[in-house]
Structure formats: C-alpha cells, structure tokens
Chains A and B, each alone.
Chain A
Amino acid sequence: MEHTSLLERILRGIALTLVVIFFMFPIVWIFMMSFQTNETILRIPPQLVFKPTLANYTALITGKLTTAAGTLDIAFMRNLWNSVFLSVTSVAVALLLGVPAAYAFARHKFRGSEDIAFTLLSFRFAPALLVLLPLTLYFQKLGLANTYIGLIWVYQLICLPLILWIVRGYFEDIPADIEYAYRIAGHSWFATFRKIALPLAGPGIAAAGLLAFIFAWNNFVFALVLASADKQPVTVGALAFITSSGIQYGQISAAIVLSITPTLALALYAQRYLVEGLSLGAVKG
C-alpha cells in the first residue's frame, strides 16, 4: 500500500466520494426534509434553503398530527416500540435456536445434516406470501393471531436462516482441534461450546445478529397481515402519514430518521464486530 501512486490515490478518493454521494444523498435529503413542512418540501424547483422546524418530530413524539383535516392521533412511538420489541426478541430467539443448530451443522456431520440445513435455509426463500396467507388461518385457530408470540415466530422466517448460515460458517472456521483440545482437557461438550466455540465465533454471531435485526426491522408484510394496529411496527406505521389531506412528507422523513436511529446506533456500537466480525479470519490470525 505504501507505493501507491499519487494518481491512484486521487482516483480512489474520487471514486469513494462518488460512492458516498450516491448512497448518502437520499439519506441527507430525507434528513433535511424531516425539518421542513410540506409547504417548503413541495416547492418547484426544490430548494436547499429553508427555515428548519421541529414540528414533525414534535408531532411524532406527542402523537398529534395536525393536518388540513384536523388533528389526528398517531401511534408512531408505539410503532417504534413494537419494532424494537419485535426485532430484539425475534433476533434473540433466532440466536437461541439458530446458534446451537449452526454449531451442530458445522461440527457434527450427521445423517441428513446437509438436507436439514438446506431445508432450514430454503425457508428464507419461500415467498413470504406463500406461507403467510394460510398461516393467517392457522394462527386464527391456534389463537396466535394478533399476538407478539405469533409474530416472533413468523419473524424466525427472516432471522433464523440468516443466522444459521452465517454463524455456521464461523463455527466451521474454528479449527476442530481447538475444541478437541478442550474436550481432551476434560471438559464436556457444553463447556466447550460455551467457553471455546461461542467466544471464538462471537464476532460473527454479533454481525449475523445485527444483519438479522436489520431485516426484521425492515419487515413490512408479516405484521401487517397478522397483527392488529397496536402491534404494528414503524414500517406500517409510517404509512399513516399518507392522509386524506395529502402525504405528510416531512413527517414520513422524520419517521424514517427516527426509525433508522436505533439500528444505526446499534451498528455503530457493534461496528468492530460488523466489519471485523464478518471476516471469518478471527481465529486464523
């Protein structure tokens, strides 16, 4: 890396700048819109200069949305809480179920293991609609419709295969000898799992968990179909700003900003896990 030419460094810089602009511009634009009212957002042509207002955030946090058609009650904070609760719990359950399973697939080549692993993965790729609609019927019969438990179960469709397959790779990358050494030293398989496999695959588990969290957070259709309004996540909740008196772009923007914030905070906190953790070389180094 030392002997890269100046030209190359400049080109790299330009390329990186373009990338950052492309991916960040809409985010910045959304951020700016979140401090504007529809009046300034809907100007022709669009303008950069505006008088910022906190009205959108106030409306979201207090739950009172003022529109042409009067003051509406919105449950955005409730939606936000639902998103947090559903995503966190789903990922936690998926980790609880998926990590041991991933370990089993990685360490024990047992009869049918590849088939079972593949079946588990294939659920990730069953079109959501395919299972969702009959599932509604069954949930009704089981009394799981409109319960957090039912939702968390269905969210496993999103989280579990992702965790299973990413974490499995990490476990496989831990040299088996390291675990054998611990077993031979006199420890049970469970102690070995806990003291050796888990810590060594830890960064990978954290990273897979974060990705699963993002996908769970972004889900839209599961909660919509299976739960009543008080259990809806932000993705559905944000649509409430499409009202009969027009789309409240400012509030949607604020809602997006607020809905990104928890995930972003988590990602920043888990930064070194996310980038380093996904690199499977944790053990090799």
Chain B
Amino acid sequence: MASLELRNVVKRYKSQTVLDNLSLTVADGETLVLFGPSGAGKTVLLRLVAGVIDPDEGKIFIGGEDMTDLDAEFRGVGMAFQNFALFPHMTAFDNIATPLEASRSSQSAIKAGVQNVAKLLKIGHVLSHKPRALSNGQKQRTALARALVGSPPVLLLDDPLRNVDAKLRFEMRLELPRLLADRGATVVYVTQDYKEAMALGDRIAVMSQGVIKQLGTPEQIYREPANIEIARLFGDPTINLLDVKPSRDAKGIYVGLSNVQVHLTGAYDATVGRDCVIGLRPEALSFVDESTPAAIPVTVEAETPLNEKIVTLVRTVRGREILVSRPAGTPGQSEGRAHIAVDGKSALLFDRASGDRIGSKNVINLRSGEAA
C-alpha cells in the first residue's frame, strides 16, 4: 500500500493552464474524492498520477517514491475510466486479465484472479463475452474488475458511475465503499455527483479551474464550504443565497430578512456594513407559528417531494424565493400564507465580492496551494 503525493504540479494545454501549481497528499489507504464541474482538471490529475500524461512542472510521488518520469506501466496503479475503455477485441475475461498478464503471472493464477474479482463484482457469467455484447452495467463492472484485479496499491477511479443508469449507480454507491475498504488501497475517486462524493470520500477535494478550492471531510465541506460556489454544489435542494448587509445591535450581529432581524453567531464582527451573501440550507429553515419570535412571513408557492424530504418554495414579502426542506411526514404548510424561522447558528455568510465564506478556516490559498 502506498501514499500519494502531488507537489506543485502544473499542466498546460497550449496556452490554457489546466492544473495550476497543485499540491495534494493522499494518505495510505485513504479514499480521496475529487469533486468539481467538468473542465475542473480532475481527469487530468488522475492521468498525471497514472502516468499517461506528463506534468509540465512539479513532481508526483507514490509510496514516497518519485514517479514523475516513470511510464504508466511501472507505477503500479489501477484505473477505471469514465467511458470504461474496454478493449473491444478481447473478451471480458481477457480484459480483466491484462494487468495480471503484464506481471507475468501463471495461467492458473490469472484464471483464479480473474474469477475471484468477477465473482465479487457479479460478472462471472459474462466473462466470455466481448464488450459489445455487455450491458452498460456489465461493462462498468468489467472495467472496475480490471482496475482491481491486480490489487494495485493505488486505485484511480474516474467517475466510474457516470455512464450507468440510476438504479445501478445507487447500488454501486452502496457496494463501492465496502469494496474499496476491503482492498485497503489508496483511492482517488473522481465524481461530479456530490452525494457520491459524500458517500465515498474519506476526504473530498473540491476542484475548479485547475485548483483545489477546498479540501476536507464531507462533513467539513458541507458545514463549512469555502465559498458560495462550493456551498451551492453540495446540498440538494441547493442552499438559499440572499444578499444582505449585516448590522449590529445590542444582541450582536444581525441581518435583515423581510424586516425581521436574524441574529448570527460567530465572529462576524468585521462584516458590519459590508455587502454580503447569506447562505441558508433549506433544512435550516422551518415552518413556525406566526407568534414565534423572528418569524418571517412568506407565501407558499409550490411544494414537491424529494427523496425522503419535502421541499417547499416560498416567497418573502420582498419577493425573494426561498427553499424550505423538511423530513417527509413532518408537519408543514402546502399553500397560502405561512411563517418560517431561521436557525441563525447554521447560517453561512459570504463576502459578496469574492464569494469566499467569511471566517472560513479551510480556504485553500489560490497562489500558494497551501491550506490557509
């Protein structure tokens, strides 16, 4: 098993910088999820680690060893591709067997190895088929089997669930953590699905435009997003974002929402009078009686169930739209006028100009690449 480290890596394509002075360490046995929109540089990062493309600057270490100048075949990584990248002229068996063949294992060892992993992934019955004859799910499992079969110390999984249907994705999301944990490998997992990221990652690295914007546990990313962008990406329904200008009164710092003063906790002293954005998670809002202190009057516009939650769209008297979420089966209001309350403790405050969360301790400094 091996740790993984990227040190000040730069990758450019023509004039475009795809990875900008990126540093990252993944501990031995850890599962790191690379999360971000397409074009963020996640796949490029994986390929640099795999050794199929070379960095323009910087170094890559696997197990403490400098691998920067080493070709892919010597790096001892396993990789599953988003589009599977199966060899179309080989059977599923031969596909899976390729890493074992490369290590010159005996025929019987290859057979045992392939069957073992195939059983694990429930594709034992299609081993004689060529990729063309496999369903998408089978292709995906074959690709995964090929990455796993050699028990590589480092596993790179490039959005492996992207091209499979929802049902399979759901299943795999449950299966994968156990599978990866069993292997004990160091895993870098790329996804654009925040739930996948939350479910699989020991840590999540949020990437955007070639830099890591935030690196932390799923909990950290959710509770303390580094900026508006990340706050928006994590959470379903998405976070409510409202322009505010904090003020101070005797009770402390507050923001005005529909003439109601919502007091915030934490060290937001410096924000008085600044243009800010407040982020309110839908689940941090709740329907309350008119009588509740600081209740905000709203009009219910629409209501829709989402998974085990019910999401309600309400409009404030100033016309701002807000999403409110509550667990299914809990009381709420589905039409007419209503009142909501804000849990001031969980509110997030962002600087409007930069988008950074105020008081964030987890922001990655853009230039130095070091955690601030």
Same complex origin of A and B: yes
Which residue numbers of A lie inside 8 Å of B, CB to CB? Answer: 175-178, 180-189, 191, 196, 199-200, 283, 285
Question: A199 is contacted by which of B73, B78, B89, B102 (Cβ under 8 Å)?
Answer: B89
Which bucket holds chain B's interface residue count?
20 to 34
Taking the complex as formed, is B138 at the interface, i.e. its CB lies under 8 A from any CB of chain A? no
Do the beta carbons of B89 and A185 come within 8 Å of each other?
Answer: no
| Interchain Cβ contacts under 8 Å between A and B, 26 examples | A176-B52, A177-B81, A178-B88, A180-B52, A180-B79, A180-B85, A181-B85, A181-B146, A182-B87, A183-B51, A183-B71, A183-B72, A183-B73, A184-B72, A184-B77, A184-B78, A185-B98, A185-B99, A185-B102, A185-B146, A186-B98, A186-B150, A187-B98, A187-B101, A187-B102, A188-B73
Interface of B with A (CB < 8 Å)? 47, 50-52, 71-73, 75, 77-79, 81, 83, 85-89, 98-99, 101-103, 132, 146, 150
Residues in A whose Cβ lies below 8 Å from that of B85: 175, 177-178, 180-181
The answer to whether B87 touches A178 (Cβ under 8 A) is yes
User: Once the chains are docked, how many angstroms separate the CA of A175 from the CA of B85?
Assistant: 8
Instruction: With both chains docked as a complex, state the minimum distance between the C-beta of A207 and any C-beta of chain B, in angstroms.
Output: 17
- Chain A binding surface, main DSSP class: helix
B87 and A184 within 8 A (CB):
no
Q: How far is the CA of A200 from the CA of B86 in the complex (A)?
A: 12
CB of A187 within 8 A of CB of B73, answer yes
**Closest Cβ–Cβ distance, residue A138 to chain B (whole Å):** 41
Interchain CA distance A283-B146 in the complex, whole Å: 19
Are B47 and A186 neighbours in the complex by a CB distance under 8 Å? no
Once the chains bind, are A196 and B87 in contact (CB under 8 Å)? Answer: yes
CA distance A199 to B85 in the complex (A): 15
Q: Assuming the A-B contacts A185-B102, A186-B73, are A180 and B50 also in contact, with contact meaning beta carbons closer than 8 angstroms in the complex?
A: yes
Least Cβ–Cβ distance between A255 and chain B, in angstroms? 42
Residues of B contacting A184 with CB < 8 Å?
50-52, 72-73, 75, 77-79
Q: Separation in Å of the A128 CB from the closest CB of chain B?
A: 39
Question: B87 to chain A: which residues have CB within 8 Å?
Answer: 178, 181-182, 196
Which residue of A has the minimal Cβ distance to B50?
A184
Which of A180, A191, A285 makes the CB contact (< 8 A) with B47?
A180
Min CB distance A200 to B, Å, is 6
Measured between beta carbons, the chain A residues less than 8 angstroms from B75 are: 184
Expressed in whole angstroms, the Cα–Cα distance for A154 and B252 within the complex equals 90
Residues from chain B with Cβ under 8 Å of A187 in the complex: 73, 98, 101-102
The residues of A that contact B146 with a CB separation of less than 8 Å are 181, 185
Is A181 in contact with B81, judged by CB distance below 8 angstroms? yes
CB distance from B74 to the nearest CB of A (A): 8
Say how far B260's CB is from chain A's closest CB, in angstroms: 55
Report the Cα distance A196→B94, complex, angstroms.
12
Of A180, A186, A200, the residue contacting B99 (CB under 8 A) is A186
The answer for the CA separation of A285 and B50 in the assembled complex, in Å, is: 27
Q: Which 3 residue pairs of A and B lie closest in terms of their CB atoms, listed nearest first? A: A186-B102, A177-B85, A183-B72
Which residues of A are found within 8 Å of B102, using beta-carbon distances?
185-187, 191
CB distance from A282 to the nearest CB of B (A): 8
Contact A200 B88 (CB under 8 A): yes
Q: Which of A175, A177, A188 has the most CB of B within 10 A?
A: A177
Closest to A181 in B: B85
Tell me if A285 and B132 are in contact (CB < 8 A). yes
